[in-house]
Amino acid sequence: MVAPGVDPIRPSHALFDLFVTAESCRDVQKHFSALCEQLQVDPKDFRVFYSKLKERLNYWKAKDLWVKIDKRASDKDYQQRKACAENKCLVLGAGPCGLRAAVELALLGAQVLVVEKRASFSRNNVLHLWPYTVCDLRGLGAKKLYGRFCTGTLDHISIRQLQLILLKVALVLGVEVLTAVEFQGLEEPSGDKGWTAKLHPNPHPTLAFEFDVFISAGGGSFIPDGFKHKELRATLAIGITANFTNRHTVAEAHVEEIAGVAGIYNQKFFHDLLTQTGIDLENIVYYKDETHYFVMTAKKKSLLKKGVIKQDYSDAEQLLARENVDHDALWRYAYEAANFSTNRQLPELEFATNPAGRRDVAMFDFTCMHRAEHASLVRERRGKKLLMGLVGDSLVEPFWPQGTGIARGFLAAFDTAWMVRSWGLGVPYLQVLAERESIYQLLSQTNAGNTKNDCTSYSIRPSTRYPHVNLSAIKVHQVRLPPPPPEQSIRLPHVNVFPVLVPDSAGGVEDLLRWCQKNTAGYAGVEVKDFTLSWTSGLALCALIHHFRPQLIDMSSLNESDAVHNHQLAMDLLERELSISPVVAASAMASSGLIDKLSMVLYLTQVHDVLTKNKKEPADVLDLPKPLTLSRLLSAVYFLSKLKHNSLQRRKVSPLFTQHTVSPLYQGFLSICQTEVGLSSSEDCYSCGQRLYLLARVNAMGKFFHRDCFTCHKCGHQLRLGGYTFHQTTGGWATIDPSHIAGFRVFVFVETTFRHGHSTSEDGDDQEEDDDDDDEEDMMSGSYDFEFPDEKCFINKFALPCLNGLTFDPGQSIQRRLEEIEVTFKELEEKGEVLERALRGEPGSGGSPEMIEQWIQLVREKNAVDSEESDLMVASRQLELEDQQGILELELRKYKELSDSEKTAEQQAEEERILQQRMEVVDMRDSLVAFLDEKRLKEMSEEQEAFTLREAKRHSKAGAQVHWE
Q: What is the mean pLDDT of each run of 10 residues along the chain (965 residues)?
A: 58 94 95 95 92 93 94 95 96 96 97 94 88 93 90 82 96 96 92 91 79 91 80 75 93 85 67 92 88 92 94 89 94 95 89 89 81 89 92 81 79 96 94 92 79 91 90 77 42 48 51 90 91 89 91 90 90 80 78 72 84 48 35 43 41 34 34 36 73 78 77 70 58 52 28 29 37 34 32 31 36 65 80 79 54 73 74 73 79 81 86 85 76 63 57 53 40
Residue 647 lies in a domain: yes
Last residue of a domain, one of 343, 366, 389: 366
Distance, in Å, from the CA atom of 547 to the CA atom of 556, rounded to the nearest integer, reads: 13
Give the residue numbers spanning the domain of 818.
Answer: 630-945
Residue 473 lies in a domain: no
Do 241 and 227 reside in the same domain of the chain? no
Residue 490 lies in a domain: no
Burial of 900 (C-beta count, 10 Å sphere; 0-12/13-18/19+): exposed
Do 310 and 400 reside in the same domain of the chain? no
| 512 neighbors 606 (Cβ within 8 angstroms) | no
Do 644 and 713 reside in the same domain of the chain? yes
Task: Supply the pLDDT for residue 263.
Answer: 53
Distance, in Å, from the CA atom of 409 to the CA atom of 406, rounded to the nearest integer, reads: 5
Q: How far apart are the first and last CA of the chain?
A: 78
Residue 160 lies in a domain: yes
Residue 535 lies in a domain: yes
Distance, in Å, from the CA atom of 362 to the CA atom of 340, rounded to the nearest integer, reads: 19
Handedness of CA 691, 693, 696, 697 (dihedral sign): positive
Do 603 and 718 reside in the same domain of the chain? no
Do 266 and 306 reside in the same domain of the chain? yes
Distance, in Å, from the CA atom of 446 to the CA atom of 440, rounded to the nearest integer, reads: 10
Do 42 and 130 reside in the same domain of the chain? yes
Task: Supply the pLDDT for residue 409.
Answer: 92
Q: What domain count does the chain have?
A: 4
Distance, in Å, from the CA atom of 274 to the CA atom of 258, rounded to the nearest integer, reads: 18
Last residue of a domain, one of 340, 366, 392: 366
Task: Supply the pLDDT for residue 939.
Answer: 57
Task: Supply the pLDDT for residue 356.
Answer: 83
Do 600 and 645 reside in the same domain of the chain? no
Residue 819 lies in a domain: yes
Last residue of a domain, one of 366, 390, 421: 366
Query: For the domain that residue 310 is a member of, what is the CATH number?
Result: 3.30.9
Please give the model's pTM, rounded to 2 decimal places: 0.65
Contacts of 698 (CB under 8 A, 6+ apart): 704, 705, 706, 707, 710, 721
Do 226 and 150 reside in the same domain of the chain? yes
Do 796 and 939 reside in the same domain of the chain? yes
| 605 neighbors 856 (Cβ within 8 angstroms) | yes
Of 367, 448, 337, 468, the residue nearest 403 (C-alpha): 448
Query: For the domain that residue 593 is a member of, what is the CATH number?
Result: 1.10.418.10
Do 239 and 139 reside in the same domain of the chain? no
Do 64 and 104 reside in the same domain of the chain? yes
Partners of residue 242 on adjacent β-strands: 294, 361
| 147 neighbors 467 (Cβ within 8 angstroms) | no
Task: Supply the pLDDT for residue 961.
Answer: 43
Do 748 and 761 reside in the same domain of the chain? yes
Query: For the domain that residue 394 is a member of, what is the CATH number?
Result: 3.50.50.60
Task: Supply the pLDDT for residue 681.
Answer: 41
| 522 neighbors 555 (Cβ within 8 angstroms) | no
Task: Supply the pLDDT for residue 425.
Answer: 95
Residue 622 lies in a domain: no
Task: Supply the pLDDT for residue 907.
Answer: 86
Task: Supply the pLDDT for residue 777.
Answer: 32
Residue 518 lies in a domain: yes
